[in-house]
Amino acid sequence: MVSHRIIMTVFAPAAIALAFAASAAEAQSPRAAEDHHKRGLALVQQGELDRAIAEFDNALELNPRLADVWCNRGIAYNSKGDLDHAMADLSRAIALDPRHSIAHYTRGVIFKSRGESDRAMADFNRAIEINRRFGEAYTNRGKIRYDRGDMDGALADYDKAIKYGAESLARISSGSYLVSASNPILAMAYNNRGVVYRDKGDMKRALADFSRAIEADPRLARAYSNRSTVLLHGRDARGAVADLDRALMLDLQLSEAWNNRGLIRLGAGDTDAALADFDRAIEIDPRSFEARLNRGSVSHDKGRFEEAIADYDQAIGLAPHDKRAWFNRGNSRFSKGDYSGAAADFTRAIELDPRHAISYVNRGNARRASGDLAVAMNDYNQALIIDPRCALAFLNRGIGYLQEGREAEAQRDFNQCLKIDPTLRLELEAVVEEARRRLRGVGG
């Protein structure tokens, strides 16, 4: 019996670009309030967040209607990880000045970090309505669109982020803005657009964008990690390894870089080193779907099916609508003899992607192993309707014909299998011999 090899793909999620900014104190503010505000801004730049918040407190005691101070204090609280206070301050800034684009933008970033994408999208939309040249808002809105599968919408937003990035409000600091120099607008916009191009299969443009991201910010570890996947696709393993080494030198906590290096090591046949990299990726980010999927495949290949299934269970919990985890878990369940469980998983994979011919083949194998040959043959037939050149469907349907005693049809399918994929000859001969041996045993 044949089950298709587990699919492994690389995906490096694009990051949200954060930028801290707020406008100058209102002209009518008392001089003392403005002085406290400016001292608070300077302290934030120095990383003295508690002292900065105290200065903002003093400014607001003197003039509680300064929307910019509320915004900047909210940003400082956000930097400390105190999201409740940050949200309260940013909402107060918006109440005082509904056209405060930075407050809308920063609140949107927090909503996004909490998984409230609809509310984040509303704030990013509002920030863009107020300031049509707000590069960071386009970058973050593009990320939400990407996460929702709207590739064209994401691409349009990243195009605008790149166009307006150099002029973005958060970058034209006059000394009264909080600017994040560690997260350049253009670098993140190029990086995120590169991810879209890569997912669309346009590797040339993806490579160019990741390279531009690195030029804009040579310390953006994620861009090196992403570029490595494109280089690997182009069979430049040495260049890919160099990029991953650089990414990990810049950020040892970048889960995706460990995952991607694991894939390179796996491709080189070093499964133990690959497994160590996938372990590290999951240790850093237990919610890494790709690392779970990849570690599961290594465990499967090592015959550690329970461990593989455990990783696929986690992967399904993280991305229940991604067919790969269901398909892979079905393979592992099949290999450990759980044919009904395998058939159920392949059925779910088919529901998620009705055009995936191999899912029908593997479900047919599980059903045939359970003794339901007639239904299995229907699955092989359906696989060939979807993909008339599916060699594995011919191979396994041929075995079904053997079991039914239809020798001529079986040989015809075996010949067609080898015509499509001659590399399957040894596997076919072994499987057919096993099938004939079992049939002889039953007949005896």
Question: Does residue 17 have a pLDDT over 50?
Answer: no
Is 31-182's fold the same as 342-444's?
yes
pLDDT tens for 262-281 read: 999 999 999 999 999 999 99
Mean pLDDT of 187-195: 95
Question: Where exactly are the structural domains of the chain?
Answer: 31-182, 342-444
pLDDT of 435 reads 84
Tokens of 264: 């390179």
355 φ/ψ angles, rounded to the nearest 5 degrees: -100, 10
pLDDT of 221 reads 96
Residue type, 443: G
In this prediction, what percent of the chain has a pLDDT beyond 90? 83
pLDDT of 8 reads 27
Instruction: Give the C-alpha separation, 274 to 2, whole Å.
Output: 25
In this prediction, what percent of the chain has a pLDDT beyond 70? 89
Tokens of 283: 């240790």
pLDDT of 206 reads 97
pLDDT tens for 276-318 read: 999 999 999 999 999 999 999 999 999 999 999 999 999 999 9
pLDDT of 30 reads 65
What is the fold, at CATH topology level, of the domain defined by 342-444?
Answer: 1.25.40
* Cβ–Cβ < 8 Å for 402, 439: yes
For CA atoms 340, 345, 348, 349, the dihedral sign is negative
Mean pLDDT of 330-353: 98
Mean pLDDT of 362-389: 97
pLDDT tens for 111-154 read: 999 999 999 999 999 999 999 999 999 999 999 999 999 999 99
Other C-beta atoms lying within 10 Å of the C-beta of residue 149: 9
Instruction: Give the C-alpha separation, 123 to 265, whole Å.
Output: 42
- Of 3-12, 55-64, 183-192, 213-222, minimum mean pLDDT range: 3-12
* Mean pLDDT, all residues of the chain: 88
Instruction: Give the number of C-alpha atoms closer than 13 A to the C-alpha of residue 335, restricted to the C-beta side.
Output: 22
CATH superfamily of 31-182: Tetratricopeptide repeat domain (1.25.40.10)
pLDDT of 167 reads 57
3-class secondary-structure state, position 420: helix
pLDDT of 183 reads 54
Residue type, 283: E
pLDDT band at 429 (very low <50, low <70, confident <90, very high): very high
Mean pLDDT of 363-382: 97
96 sits in which H/E element: helix 83-96
Mean pLDDT of 243-258: 96
Chain position carrying tokens 């796996």: 266
Question: Does residue 5 have a pLDDT over 90?
Answer: no
Residue type, 32: A
pLDDT band at 416 (very low <50, low <70, confident <90, very high): very high
Q: State the Cα angle at 148 between 144 and 149, rounded to 5°.
A: 120
pLDDT band at 176 (very low <50, low <70, confident <90, very high): very low
